[in-house]
A and B are shown apart, each in its own frame.
Chain A
Amino acid sequence: MAAIDQSEVHKVADLARLALSPEEEKTFAGQLSSILDYFEQLSELDTTDVEPTTRAIELSNITRADERKTGVEPAAMLEIAPEPDGEFFRVPQILADAE
């Protein structure tokens, strides 16, 4: 089931928010296919009734008192932003102009 073609690579790249070049898409199609083939060996193991492990060490929920604390100063965060604007992070236009 493993083969992944260039159009599927393109689709996944879109989901991952990566603008890949057609050359990259082609290379990845080949490489990802062989990696997925390699994963096939996992099907040799019967995992019926096996519980998945989601974490290395089981820990119960950790909670803390709901108290206000100062974290990183907002000014320090804005200082390292690509395009700060007063108290805001500026981004390119999201919605199209109304016609």
Chain B
Amino acid sequence: MASTIRTIHEQLISKERSAVEITTETLARIEQLEPQLHSFLHVTAESALAQAEAVDAQIAAGEAIVPLAGVPIAIKDNLCTTGIPTTCGSRILENFVPPYESTVTQKLKDAGAVIIGKTNMDEFAMGSSTENSGYGRTCNPWDFDRVPGGSSGGSAAAVAADECAIALGSDTGGSIRQPASLCGVVGMKPTYGLVSRFGLVAYASSLDQIGPLARSVEDAAILLAAIAGYDPKDSTSIKVEIPNYAQNLQPNFRPKAKLRIGIIQETFGSGLDEAVNTAVRAAVEVLQELGAEIQVVSCPRFGYGLPAYYIIAPSEASANLARYDAVKYGVRVEEPENLLDMYKRTRAQGFGTEVKRRIMLGTYALSAGYYDAYYLKAQKVRTLIKQDFDAAFEKVDILISPTSPTTAFTAGEKTDDPLSMYLSDLMTIPVNLAGLPAISVPCGFDRQGLPIGMHLISKVLREDLLLQVAHAYEQATQWHRQQPQLL
């Protein structure tokens, strides 16, 4: 069993292991695994060891340390880290070393967490398999021929392969939860606005949210509490008290008020792997045995989330990615003839196919004559999807669906058919459109031994409840204890 935040913390304060020892061992494992796995784009050995030494010095001086101190953490490469390359998986940012720090990584540094490296991702977080990275694909630790999911595939694979204890990802349409599901780890998307997006390279600003990936719900809860909170640097940041999520977790789940759980009927239809169907239904039975009241609920417009998302997200992306103009930072094409030629050739060479496709889609959807038919229509559908969730949450406290309709697919299987790739986010996208928090927890394996995830959704800002339910389920099962055999 790989280390959790709690075991690392206990080892550090009892002086059984030092932070430098833990970091050194982690770096050695990364060095062994990376030639095959490729979870990381940059490993920051030097600064990681320096941070570990600082934590050891604190311990030696008898100072108290917080749970995250000395814990190796991997960061998705779309979070700006001062002095450390931040490429977003894109060739256009190949040479970009940010002169400022994202709020979340600053908080982690302040807590003494050891940033071990930056993880691979689909370029600009656009993708569901990490195959859209400009720097090669990441393998799924359970089967190297398969994808880890995406876009936070590097973070999910690194956590699953024990190349770090925990990781940060970002989730615009499922980019934390889907790879968590495909790699057999816990992944959470918090309420929109709970975690500051300052220093997160923007993809679709009305949907993007940063969140934790971990091997246990408790670790996800500790990491979430560390990164959440109001930040004046993010104008969409919510001013709200952050509960001590981890302290609220109960080893036994015996709620005083009856917990009502709703199964989203529309997510158990056609296109769902039989193994996924069986595993998630079995997981629901476990929750029932734990005392939850189960009912089937309908979100009739749920399925329209996918087309709405693929209008809204590319539209926002086409505006956000206009900033890559080769003027102030990033790559610039050689010997441009004039300004326009510089823009057009730099962007054509620097962006990969999926990014270009989404910029094109967004530009088209926003262009004169099409705006009402596509963008405005999609925003109205977004309202209908929110209404479906509101109605469902009148009846229940938690909603459940599979995280992904399938287990990890083979690399190359969907790269030529963008629509079939988009479909792997069917279950997770509506949650982003409504701004809700959701978590994926391991709930079984298919016949090939590939992990399956259960997707739990709550009302806005009920991360506390979401984590409690996920934790209770996890403690009642053994799925999260299974790890891929790698070395």
- Which residues of A are interface residues toward B (Cβ below 8 A)? 1, 4, 9, 12-13, 15-21, 24, 28, 31-32, 34-36, 38-39, 41-45, 47, 50-57, 59, 62, 64, 71-73, 76-77, 79-83, 89, 91-94
Query: Which of these, A17, A57, A64, contacts B343 with CB under 8 Å?
Result: A17
How far is it, in angstroms, between the C-alpha of A49 and the C-alpha of B344 when the chains are bound? 40
A80 touches B97 (CB 8 A): yes
Query: Which of these, A1, A38, A83, contacts B419 with CB under 8 Å?
Result: A38
How far is it, in angstroms, between the C-alpha of A36 and the C-alpha of B338 when the chains are bound? 34
How far is it, in angstroms, between the C-alpha of A72 and the C-alpha of B102 when the chains are bound? 13
Of the listed stretches B148-156, B265-273, B302-310, B440-448, chain A binds B302-310
- Given A16-B360, A32-B357, A57-B435, A93 and B99 touching (CB < 8 A)? no
Q: Is the interface of A mostly helix, strand, loop or mixed?
A: loop
With most chain A CB atoms within 10 A of its CB, the pick from B236, B360, B379 is B360
Residues of A near B193 (CB, < 8 A) are 56-57, 59
B328 touches A89 (CB 8 A): yes
Query: Which of these, A16, A59, A76, contacts B359 with CB under 8 Å?
Result: A16
How far is it, in angstroms, between the C-alpha of A91 and the C-alpha of B327 when the chains are bound? 7
Residues of B near A83 (CB, < 8 A) are 332
8 contacts between A and B (CB under 8 A): A35-B361, A39-B311, A53-B386, A56-B193, A80-B328, A82-B326, A91-B339, A92-B338
- Given A18-B348, A80-B96, A80-B97, A56 and B433 touching (CB < 8 A)? yes
- Given A35-B310, A94-B339, A45 and B384 touching (CB < 8 A)? yes
B327 touches A57 (CB 8 A): no
How far is it, in angstroms, between the C-alpha of A91 and the C-alpha of B342 when the chains are bound? 9
12 more A-B residue pairs beyond the given contacts A56-B435, A92-B338, with a C-beta to C-beta distance below 8 A: A12-B360, A16-B347, A16-B363, A20-B356, A44-B304, A45-B304, A53-B379, A55-B435, A57-B236, A71-B100, A72-B99, A82-B327
How far is it, in angstroms, between the C-alpha of A10 and the C-alpha of B130 when the chains are bound? 28
CB of B297 within 8 Å of the partner chain? no
B99 touches A47 (CB 8 A): no
How far is it, in angstroms, between the C-alpha of A4 and the C-alpha of B360 when the chains are bound? 12
Residues of A near B393 (CB, < 8 A) are none
